[in-house]
Structure 1
Amino acid sequence: MSVLIPDEVLKASGMSENELMLELIILLFQQKKIGIGKAANLVNMNLLQFQHELAIRKISVHYEIADLETDIKNLQKLGRI
């Protein structure tokens, strides 16, 4: 599913398309609608970059058991553990 945001909204916000996307993803992350890994991926940042962006905004990182399990699976796939 794609969402079309009118140019008028983008102009009114004074943000670029990427900035608006970052704001939306951070909002979804804060509301625990998406995890940190997915959020970072959606804004084309690595995890450390996204965490840095959150730190700048003084937003705490919520790291759930499911996040840990996903990280372990990904590390296993990469042969890191």
Structure 2
Amino acid sequence: MNASVNLELPADLLSSARMTLEELRLELAVHLFEQKRLSLGKAAQLAGLAKWDFVPVLGAREISVFGDAEQALADEAMLAVMSK
């Protein structure tokens, strides 16, 4: 069962930030994905986008959907060990 949560914000918050509600959701989704708090699918859902529409947003901000450089090096090392 999917539950819904309502978040109350001060009325002037969005205007002070010069953002729409959709922009705020996108920023929150990007931040939570970058911090590895949400998966790609869940972050896209929060942003109100399909995964294939969310990926270019991340790319424009130079956020990899494949993890960080450290993880890539660890994966490469593991593959090298496994191939021996």
Fold match, TM over 0.5? yes
Question: Which 4+ stretches in 1 moved above 4 angstroms?
Answer: none
The AA in structure 2 aligned to 1:44 is G
How many residues are matched?
A: 63
The AA in structure 1 aligned to 2:54 is F
Identity %: 37
Q: TM-score, normalised by structure 1?
A: 0.70
Give structure 2 stretches of 5+ with no counterpart: 68-84
Q: TM-score, normalised by structure 2?
A: 0.67
Give structure 1 stretches of 5+ with no counterpart: 64-81
1:77: which partner in 2?
A: none
**TM alignment of 1:1-81, pairs within 5 A:** 1-62=5-66
Which is higher, the Rg of structure 1 or of structure 2? 2
Per-residue CA deviation, residues 25-53 of structure 1 (Å, 9 max, x unaligned), is 11111111110011111222111110011
SS in 1 for 2:12: helix
| Alpha-carbon RMSD | 1.3
